[in-house]
Amino acid sequence: MRTITYYTRILPHLSHYKGDVTLVTLGPLTNLALAFKCDRHLPGKIKKLVIMGGNTEGVGNTTLAAEFNFHADPESAYVVLEMADCPTFIVAWELCSRYTNVSMVSTDM
């Protein structure tokens, strides 16, 4: 059985639509960092990068001060932010938590 990874699935799309792709990440950046490391030209194929992660006020959702996506794999967050060769936007935890209508009430029956 062949393992299909994130970067082997995304590379053909980024090559085909070179420079036209806005990539939005909603979780830890482990797979994207791996893809950037495996293909040094990949960062140049992305038009814009939008990352949901980090925080601006030092208030976290995993620890008192850490936001989950950056806390789960800080090295990958560093790699992606250093290697990104396009406009990069970080949507911080505070923005996500303040302006959503997601209920934190349990739906267990």
Measured between alpha carbons, how far is 19 from 105 in angstroms, rounded to an integer?
Answer: 41
User: For residue 79, what are the domain limits?
Assistant: 19-98
Q: Per-residue DSSP letters for 32-100? A: HHHHHHH-TTGGGGEEEEEEE---SSS--SSSSS--HHHHH-HHHHHHHHHH--S-EEEE-HHHHHHT-
Summarize pLDDT for 13-54 with one digit per residue, the tens. Answer: 777 888 888 999 999 999 899 889 988 888 999 999 999 999
Q: Which two tokens stand for residue 27?
A: 């979780």
Q: Which residue has the higher pLDDT, 86 or 109?
A: 86
Question: Is residue 103 domain-resident?
Answer: no
Q: Based on the structure, what is the number of domains in the chain?
A: 1
Question: Is residue 12 domain-resident?
Answer: no
Question: Is residue 23 domain-resident?
Answer: yes
What pLDDT is attached to residue 82? 97
| % residues pLDDT > 90 (the chain) | 52
pTM attached to this predicted model: 0.82
